[in-house]
Amino acid sequence: MSDVVKKVEEKIKSKDAVIFMKGTPSFPMCGFSARAVEALKAVDADFDFVNILEEADMWEGVKQVTSWPTSPQIFVRGEFIGGCDITLEMYESGDLEKKLQ
């Protein structure tokens, strides 16, 4: 397993939720990243982020791990749940909150 994939694997287990996004939670650089962050905040998730605009290696690494081409990418309890639209659907259905309990 390459170093960067190992770094990604460690990162996604470091908190209840982790979002690979463009920008930061306080300064998201893309509407989809912003909306996904809002959902995580709305369920009081203890989450961390990776700014893929500044950590290109982590971005390449996470795409290998998930084989998912777009950003943002959201992990809950170490499991990849999808991008912005799936995260919002899970938020609206209550599944996001359930997964974080």
Partner 1 sequence: MKLEDIQSRIESNIPGAKAEVRDMGGGDHIHAVVVADAFAGKPLIEQHRMVLDLFKAEIDLNDVHALQLKTLTSGQAKEMGIE
> In the complex with partner 1, which residue's Cβ is closer, 44 or 70?
70
Extract the tokens encoding 91: 């938020």
Q: Tokens 């893929």, residue?
A: 52
> In the complex with partner 1, which residue's Cβ is closer, 44 or 81?
81
In whole angstroms, the minimum distance from the beta carbon of 100 to partner 1 comes to 17
In whole angstroms, the minimum distance from the beta carbon of 68 to partner 1 comes to 7
Distance CA(8)–CA(29), nearest Å, equals 21
> In the complex with partner 1, which residue's Cβ is closer, 25 or 83?
83
* Residues 15, 48 contacting (CB under 8 angstroms): yes
In whole angstroms, the minimum distance from the beta carbon of 25 to partner 1 comes to 18
Instruction: List contacts with partner 1 (CB under 8 A).
Output: 30-32, 67-70, 80-86, 89
* Residues 1, 65 contacting (CB under 8 angstroms): no
